[in-house]
Structure 1
C-alpha cells in the first residue's frame, strides 16, 4: 500500500472530517481561480483514490447522513426545524429579493472587472460581453424582465462552453439552476410541478458533487495553496486532506438532495464554509461564490416539509453509493474519452 493510502487511525480520521467541515477554507475556495491547473492532464489513478482511507471517509460521511436522517424523526429534530423556521424567517420571506440583489451585484461586478465570462478563470477579450452583463444586472430590477436576464445567463454559459468545453463547464451547472429559478420566479410558474428553488438545489448538489470528485482526481492543483498557507491542511498530509475535504463536500452536496432537516443543515454548513473562504481569499472569492452562497441561504430557509418514510432511510446507503459511483465514473469516463479525442 502506498504512503498516500496508509490508513489513518479512527480518531485521526474523525478529526480530519470535523476539521474539514469547520476550517478547510482551501477546499472551499475554487482552486481554478487561484492556482494553475491543467484539465487535460492525467488525474490521480482510481486505484490510488479508492484506497482504504477513502473507504473509511465515505463510511463516516454516510454514517453522518444516516444519523441526521434518523434525528429528523425525533422530537429534537422537530424542535430544530421549528428553530430554523424562526431564525430564517426573513430570508424565506425575501428569497426572491435576495436572488435578485445578489445576482444583480454579481453581474455588475463582472461588468466592472471586465474580461470575465461567468467565473474568474473563464476569461474573454470581448468588449461587448461586459455591457451584456450590465444589461443582465439591470433586468433584475423588475420581475417582468427577470426571464430575459435568465436567458442572458444561459447565453453566457453557452459562450463559456463554446470557449472552454463541456467538461470544464461541468463545474458550474448551478448557474443554469439559478437562471431557471429567476425565469420561473419572474413568470410565477413551476417546472412540471418542481419548485424553482428545488431546481437550484438539484443543480447546486450536482455542481458540488462534481467538484468533490475533482478534488480526488486533481489534488495537486491545491498544493501551491498549501505551500503559501500551510495552516490550511491542519497538520495533515496534503493528499489526504484533499481526499477528506472531497468526502465531506460530497456528503454535504448529496445531503442537499435528502430530507428537509438534513438538507437545511447541510446548506448552512456549506454557506458557512464558502463565507469563511472569503476571509482568506478576498473579493475574487466573494464575487465568484456569491450566487451559490445565496442559494445555500435560501435552501437553509426553505420550510417545505415532506414526511420521512422508513423506506427513505433504507434507500439512503444505496442512493449515496449510486451517486458516488455515478459521479466518479462519469468524471473519469468523460475525462478519458475527451482526452483521447483531444477535446479537453
Structure 2
C-alpha cells in the first residue's frame, strides 16, 4: 500500500478544491476554537515580575474551577471529532493534503532543523547576556560567545554532539545563578534539542529514525509544563492583562487565564497523539505563537524560535504517531484517559517538586508598600528569588 506522501506526489498540479476544503474545515475549527488563547503564549517570565519560590495556588482550586472544566470539555469534543474524522475517508484525504503541502519541507527536514537551531543560537548571541532564554540573565560575556560556537557546531555531523553537550552544559552552568525548579521550565526542550543533535549526527545508528520523536516529546512536555503556571500562579499574568487589556478579547481575566492554560496543555498533549491531532495541534500552535509576536515583540520571537521551528516539522511529519487503536470507540475513549494520565504525571510533578524544593512555612513573602502580600516582584539582581520586605523602624 502506498503512503499518503507517495499518493500526493503523483498529483503535483495541486490537491484540488475538495481536498483543500477537507483540510480547511477541521483546521479552521481548530484555530478558531483555540485561537482565543493566543496572547497567553508569551512566556510570562520574559515580560512580568515573578517569584518562583512563592507558594502556588492549591491544585484543588483548579479542579473546582468551572472555566477549567469547560475548556477540558471543549477540547475533548474537538479531539473526539478529529479522531472520528481520522478513522474515515475524509481523514485519509486530509492526511494526503497535509503530506502534499508539507513535502518540500519534510524532504529537507534535517537541514531545516539544523538551520533553526543555528539561527536561534545566533539570535541569542546577538541579544547577549542570557543563558539559552531571555529570562535567564547573566553578566558573563563568555556565555554569549559559547552560544555562538554552538550555532557553528550544528552544521557538521561530526560536531553536532559537541553542540548538544554545549546546550546541556549551559543549562547546568545556569544552576549557579538560578533555582533548579526555575530551570525545569527549559529542561525538556533542551534535552529534546540535544537528543535530536546526537541522534541526527549518526544516520547509520539504530536510533536515528527516532530523532524527530525525541524533539517532539521535548516540545510537548515543555508546553504542558509551562502551561501549569496559569493555574499555579495566575497572578503572574495580571500585569500583562492590565497593561494590554485587549489580550483577553473582552473576557474576564479569571475566565481567560485558566482556559488559556487548558488550551496550551492540551495542544502540547496533542503533539503526542495520533497524526491528525498532532498535525492540527502543531498548526494551531504555529498560528498562536506567530500572533503573539505582534504584541510582545522580537524577544518573544527569539525565545520561542526553537519551539516554532520544531512545530513546522511536527506538522509536516507524515509518519504515524500516538496510540494505534483501530476501532473508533476505543480510539475516542483513549483520548480522555491519555489526557488524564498526562495531567496526573505533569501536574503532580509540578506541585510535588515545588513543595519539595521550597519551604512555604519559613519563607517570607514579598510585601507591597501598602502592606499587600505579593506573589511576584521585579528584582533585576535576583529575578527568580524572593524579595524580602524592608524592616520597619521600631517606635
Report the TM-score when normalising by structure 1: 0.89
The equivalent residue for 2:146 is: 132
| Deviation string, structure 1 residues 253-293 (Cα, Å, up to 9, x no partner) | 11111111110110111111111111221111111100000
| Deviation string, structure 1 residues 216-240 (Cα, Å, up to 9, x no partner) | 1111111111112111111111122
The equivalent residue for 2:286 is: 271
* Cα 1:182–1:107 shift into 2, 3 Å: same
Q: Give the deviation of 1:194 after TM superposition.
A: 6.0
CA distance in 2, matches of 1:44, 1:244: 16
1:309 maps onto 2:326 in alignment: yes
Answer with 185-194 or 46-55: which moved more.
185-194
* Number of positions where the alignment pairs a residue of Structure 1 with one of Structure 2: 328
RMSD, matched Cα: 2.1
1:323 maps onto 2:336 in alignment: no
CA distance in 2, matches of 1:148, 1:191: 20
Which secondary structure state, in structure 2, belongs to the residue aligned with residue 37 of structure 1?
Answer: coil
| Deviation string, structure 1 residues 100-135 (Cα, Å, up to 9, x no partner) | 112111111222222100101101111211111111
CA distance in 2, matches of 1:320, 1:313: 12
1:71 maps onto 2:88 in alignment: no
Which secondary structure state, in structure 2, belongs to the residue aligned with residue 41 of structure 1?
Answer: coil
Q: Give the deviation of 1:338 after TM superposition.
A: 1.1
Contact 1:61 1:251 in 2 (8 A): yes
Unaligned 5+ runs, structure 1: 1-16
Contact 1:62 1:320 in 2 (8 A): no
Which secondary structure state, in structure 2, belongs to the residue aligned with residue 42 of structure 1?
Answer: coil
| Deviation string, structure 1 residues 164-209 (Cα, Å, up to 9, x no partner) | 2331122121121011112211222567576100011111111111
CA distance in 2, matches of 1:260, 1:190: 25
The equivalent residue for 2:356 is: 337
CA distance in 2, matches of 1:205, 1:112: 27
The equivalent residue for 1:33 is: 46
Higher gyration radius (CA)? 2
Contact 1:114 1:130 in 2 (8 A): yes
More helix by share: 1
The equivalent residue for 1:13 is: none
Q: Paired residue for 2:189, among 158, 174, 183?
A: 174
Which secondary structure state, in structure 2, belongs to the residue aligned with residue 309 of structure 1?
Answer: coil
* Cα 1:315–1:284 shift into 2, 3 Å: same
CA distance in 2, matches of 1:248, 1:31: 16
Report the TM-score when normalising by structure 2: 0.78
* Cα 1:193–1:110 shift into 2, 3 Å: closer
CA distance in 1, matches of 2:60, 2:355: 15
Which secondary structure state, in structure 1, belongs to the residue aligned with residue 53 of structure 2?
Answer: coil
| Deviation string, structure 1 residues 29-70 (Cα, Å, up to 9, x no partner) | 111001101111122222322123322221222222222122
CA distance in 2, matches of 1:193, 1:308: 26
